[in-house]
Structure 1
Amino acid sequence: MEAGPDLDYARTGDGVTIAYQVLGRGPAVVWLPSLGNLRAQWRVPVLRAAYEHLARSVTLVLYDGRGMGSSDRRVDPGDLGLAAHLRDLDAVLTAAGLESTALLGYYHSTATAIAFAAERPQQVTRMILFGGSARIRDAMSPAQTQALLSLVDQDWDLFVDTAAHAWLGWGAGESGRLVADAFRTAAAPAVAKAWFAAAADIDVTDRLPDVVVPTLVLHRQGERQIPVEVSRRLADALPRGRLVELAGSSPTLFVEDARADLDLVTRFLTSGDVVPPATPVTASADGVTDRELDVLRLLAAGDSNAEIARSLGITVHTVERHTANLYRKIGARGRTDATAYAVRRGIA
């Protein structure tokens, strides 16, 4: 099964053939595609291991979007926007006979997942989002990303190698080569260019309030990739959103700390529980003192300044002073930011 399970094919409402795979058993999860090629991705040992691990607990559905991989590559480059991506997802769900499913939106497909969950809440059970945003250009805005995208129509081979190694952090070994091959064979350069151009115009911000399903927003990026503020804004705007920052800087899932990522994702998909990987905070982390940690725990629990003062046996003025110092040290603008900080670090 070098290239994974056998491919099945779905037909979209506008006549495009979409290649998909189904493996495993349990609650259904559709992993929406970004730039890639399923058959080539199965040859990457780390990705293969992730697919097989997830399939032990869920029914995992993978597919190549229009113009990509084994799906119909003869597509109109002018029809690669959100409506087209929604048609692809709808066709796969229909062909696979799925009345309800969880969604895993990855990079560009984050917006597709959001839009689908907003339009068809009865079909979506849970959602995990990684590497994207409601307005895709926010995730594409860092200077390094823009420099990388400028290579798409100038030097396709240089683009895919740079994307795999410099941007996503895959090493120069066999796995890095295989990931670059997955990008290289994903689509024709002209289609990829049109795909990125269309993505820059996708904005589903107005649909966020209509997403009623529990949503886990995961963030792991280096300084030059997607800022954590992008993921934080997304989680905050979702009625049932929660942000978990993953340790490390490689902007991928299931690679840098595969076991922890897989445990977190599997648990959420199967039970709805969120147990972030432990990140102990000591008095010296971020310069936060023991007393400030005490204040933070109570603040995150929803206590007022007066209640915190009574609990700790200090004055309200002292609580305010500790809170001001705490906000400065952790970069919080208020209670919401401080609570999110506490949740991410397992303090709350």
Structure 2
Amino acid sequence: MEAGPDLHYARTSDGVTIAYQVLGRGPALVWLPSLGNLRAQWRVPVLRAAYEHLARSMTLVLYDGRGMGSSERRIDPNELGIDAHLRDLDAVVTAAGLETTTLLGYYHSAATAIAFAAEHPRQVTRMVLFGGAARLRDAMSPVQTQALLSLVDQDWDLFADTAAHAWLGWAAGESGRLVAEGFRSAAAPSVAKAWFAAGAAIDVTDRLPEVAAPTLVLHRQGERQIPVEVSRRLAEALPHGRLVELAGSSPTLFMANARGDLELVTRFLTGGDVVPPAVPAATPADGVTARELDVLRLLAAGESNAGIARSLGITVHTVERHTANLYRKIGARGRADATAYALRRGIA
């Protein structure tokens, strides 16, 4: 299970093979892909925990878009617009046998979720959108984003590292390395370049009035990534849209406040409730010290003892001492228990 559940394959109407995974039980949720590689993403502890949490309440469907990850890599780079993304999603929904579904549109795929919901009003029951826009160039226009995208053609490895660390805010260390590897292995640089270029031309603004599904628009980005006005305009343009601004500026879900984000998304998608997450306390109970909390955050992010030592500027022996004290205080038998504790407390 290191790379997640077994892969299944769907065939699009234009003959492209799409890899997808299914896990969990309950109402369906399709998490639409942005630039990424499912098998690599499963190796990132925070993402793996998010997938497994969502699958406790829902049937979670994940897939790699055309040209990405385990899906067909040899594709026509001119076929990466909205119609192609809709064919990918339709193929997965059909192959998975989903009569109704909720959607999670993440960054680039938010526009695809909007268009699909507009075309299938009886099939899509609710949506959560994060980090995107109906007109994708609105989400891609900030100066920092444009600087990042300029690296795609210049230095693919540098783009992957910069996207993971400087743009998305993953700390240096094992988890950050794995996220960067997810970007690096997602697609050939030429496909990624064409994918971003096609994305800048995607505009589904005219489809917004046709979306019948209640939609939760979440925002947690700094001005350098996506200004809140972009998310606010999107929520206001949707007939049943609602904006929730999440605390902090880390431009990703399920990392800065994993427990709060997961509970918010799960409650909305399964029952329509919108309860904005509380800001997690600076320290947990159980007598955990500030330094032990630093160790716990890095441990839950998948860092090795050596990586924690480097990040905190302490010795490996000191990390081992803090870890032993931490395990005793929170009743953890090992890293898995400590990570689960961190997620429950909104620390990870």
TM-score by length of 1: 0.80
Partner of 1:103: 103
Distance 1:174 1:256 in 2: 17
Partner of 2:286: none
Distance 2:60 2:119 in 1: 22
Distance 1:57 1:130 in 2: 20
Partner of 1:187: 187
Indicate yes or no: 2:244 matched with 1:244.
yes
SS of equivalent residue, structure 2 residue 209: helix
SS of equivalent residue, structure 2 residue 276: coil
**Larger radius of gyration between Structure 1 and Structure 2:** 1
Distance 2:128 2:183 in 1: 23
Indicate yes or no: 2:156 matched with 1:166.
no
Partner of 2:88: 88
Partner of 1:291: none
SS of equivalent residue, structure 2 residue 151: coil
CA drift of 1:59 comes to 0.3
CA drift of 1:222 comes to 1.5
Instruction: Give a deviation string over 1:247-273, Cα, whole Å, max 9, x none.
Output: 111100000000000000000011011
SS of equivalent residue, structure 1 residue 102: strand
**2:4 partner letter:** G
Instruction: Give a deviation string over 1:139-161, Cα, whole Å, max 9, x none.
Output: 00000000110000100000000
Instruction: Give a deviation string over 1:144-193, Cα, whole Å, max 9, x none.
Output: 00011000010000000000000000000110000000000000000000
Distance 2:108 2:5 in 1: 24
Hey, which bits of structure 1, 4+ residues long, moved more than 4 A?
none
**2:146 partner letter:** Q
Structure 2: unaligned runs, 5 residues or longer: 280-348
Partner of 1:3: 3
CA drift of 1:223 comes to 2.5
Partner of 1:260: 260
SS of equivalent residue, structure 2 residue 15: coil
**1:128 partner letter:** V
Partner of 1:198: 198
Partner of 1:58: 58
Distance 1:172 1:278 in 2: 27
CA drift of 1:278 comes to 3.7
- For these two proteins, the number of residue pairs brought into alignment is 280
Indicate yes or no: 2:64 matched with 1:46.
no
SS of equivalent residue, structure 1 residue 108: helix
CA drift of 1:39 comes to 0.2
Partner of 1:133: 133
Partner of 1:282: none
Distance 1:140 1:63 in 2: 23
**2:101 partner letter:** T
Distance 2:135 2:111 in 1: 7
**1:228 partner letter:** V
SS of equivalent residue, structure 1 residue 61: strand
Indicate yes or no: 2:253 matched with 1:227.
no
**1:3 partner letter:** A
Distance 1:79 1:5 in 2: 28
**1:198 partner letter:** A
CA drift of 1:67 comes to 0.1
Equivalent residues in 2 for 1:333-348 (5 A)? none
Distance 2:212 2:12 in 1: 26
CA drift of 1:3 comes to 0.2
Distance 1:217 1:119 in 2: 19
Instruction: Give a deviation string over 1:119-141, Cα, whole Å, max 9, x none.
Output: 11011010000000000000000
CA drift of 1:78 comes to 0.4
Distance 2:60 2:248 in 1: 26
Do the aligned partners of 2:260 and 2:278 also contact (CA within 8 Å) in 1? Answer: no
SS of equivalent residue, structure 2 residue 23: strand
Indicate yes or no: 2:150 matched with 1:150.
yes
Root-mean-square deviation (CA, aligned residues, Å) is: 0.9
CA drift of 1:17 comes to 0.2
**2:254 partner letter:** F
SS of equivalent residue, structure 1 residue 121: coil
Distance 2:277 2:93 in 1: 32
Distance 1:55 1:244 in 2: 23
Distance 1:112 1:154 in 2: 28
Instruction: Give a deviation string over 1:173-214, Cα, whole Å, max 9, x none.
Output: 110000000000000000000000000000000110000110
SS of equivalent residue, structure 1 residue 202: coil
Distance 1:238 1:88 in 2: 24
Partner of 2:213: 213
Partner of 1:307: none
Distance 2:203 2:222 in 1: 24
**2:134 partner letter:** A
Partner of 1:318: none
SS of equivalent residue, structure 1 residue 177: helix
